[in-house]
Amino acid sequence: MNPSHLKTPSGKLRARGAGVPFVGSPGRHNAITDVDGVEVGYCTLIKGDGPLVVGVGPVRTGVTAIFPRGRRAPNSAVFAGYFSMSGNGEMTGAAFIEERGQFDGPLTITNTHSCGLTRDVTARWLHTQLGVSAKNDQPFWLPVAAETYDGSLSDINGHHVKPEHVIAAFENARGGPIEEGSVGGGTGMRCYEFKAGSGTASRLVSYLDVEYCVGAFVQANFGKRHLLHIAGVPVGVQIPVGGAAETAAPEQGSIIIVVATDAPMLPHQLRRVARRSAFGIARSGGTAANESGDLMLAFSTANVGAVNSHRGVRQVEALGEEALSAFYEATIEAVDEAIMNSLFANETMVGRDGFTAPGLPIPRVREILRRHGRLVDGSG
């Protein structure tokens, strides 16, 4: 097994490294960056401890940037589809994706009160890098920016994400194995009342003797402890919440899912893929709670010439509908594993007012999985 399937670049244990069994065949790095051209960058902000002082801290936040075709082609468009499972959240540019079935430029993920800033900085950065002459359809950008709430751990009303942090995430973007856990926009997030944040995974799909890749990236910030299932085992009910610090704040929900593929798909097919990613949330116990914003985006890096043409007659390749079920399965599997990686590649974090988000107790989880015959031998 590729070492990057087991640990992150910094050595954090991923779910497979802890012995969690998964179905499906992952790509080279088991990451969204296995889709050729996709690059991911982070800027992580961690500062201060103790009581909340708005505008001062403590700060536990950041920015994630995803370039569908890499930094060398920052404005290259991709066909895309959008789905809202629960709308208590924000993803800018969604109306344009629904209308045109595409978007261009890097997409960003951050905290709830910085979503507008990352969107505006992206537009300004694209104009500075390229100028409006790079736009052959219209002389403005409608960037995709998404958010989840990190106010339980961070001074969210202090607006600590600044333009330079967005630019830093752009400059940090790269392919290959990427970090997970409390990095980038996922820095201050929780999932199933454990510390979570950024996670990724991928699956390979063969169709008509061609191998394609489906990659998923999540910013996970949803769920109650008792709902958590890992590899089909009801783990959460066996690790009850304890201590006032862990229960001080109610769930404020939300997950952002980005699915990428190199398979040629039309916008309506990508919208269907985005919808199926909701099953990846459900596999671990997510219910799209009232307080949750569960927003999904899927894009394809294929058809680069067609999607970037605005005039004339475009020649587009697309999978036949019979192929889609295999891609649905791959999406569900990759999203589920990405959520698990956001939990496993993490540790306890103390934030504002001493609020504690406990790290997943991996030895205890391994013992529970072992009792249920669901632990992979020779791991972790």
* 179-192 average pLDDT score: 98
Q: Is the peptide bond before 51 cis (omega within 30 degrees of 0)?
A: no
pLDDT 10s digits, 335-354:
999 999 999 999 999 999 99
- State the catalytic residue, choosing from 4, 86, 292, 342: 292
Query: Is residue 250 very low, low, confident or very high in pLDDT (cuts 50, 70, 90)?
Result: low
pLDDT 10s digits, 45-85:
999 999 999 999 999 999 999 999 999 999 999 999 999 99
What pLDDT, on the 0 to 100 scale, is given for residue 253? 79
- Does 254 participate in catalysis according to the annotation? yes
Instruction: Identify each DSSP E strand in the chain by its residue range.
Output: 39-47, 59-67, 78-87, 102-103, 107-111, 145-148, 190-191, 194-195, 198-207, 210-220, 255-261, 293-300, 349-350, 356-357
pLDDT 10s digits, 299-328:
999 999 999 998 999 999 999 999 999 999
Residue 359: alpha-carbon gap to chain centroid: 19
* 173-187 average pLDDT score: 98
Pair of tokens at residue 223: 């769920």
Buried b / exposed e across 148-180, counting CB within 10 Å, b at 16+?
A: bbbbbbbbbebebbeeebbbbbbebbebebbbb
Q: Say if residue 331's pLDDT is above 50.
A: yes
Q: Which of 152, 293, 151, 281 is nearest to 228 (CA)?
A: 281
What pLDDT, on the 0 to 100 scale, is given for residue 36? 97
Only one residue has tokens 């209308």, namely: 99
Structural domains in the chain?
Answer: 20-309+316-362 (3.60.70.12)
Query: Is residue 251 very low, low, confident or very high in pLDDT (cuts 50, 70, 90)?
Result: low
What pLDDT, on the 0 to 100 scale, is given for residue 252? 63
Query: Is residue 245 very low, low, confident or very high in pLDDT (cuts 50, 70, 90)?
Result: very low
Mean pLDDT of the chain: 95
- State the catalytic residue, choosing from 34, 104, 262, 294: 294
Predicted TM-score of the model (pTM): 0.96
- Does 294 participate in catalysis according to the annotation? yes
Residues of the chain above pLDDT 70, percent:
96
- State the catalytic residue, choosing from 4, 254, 277, 342: 254
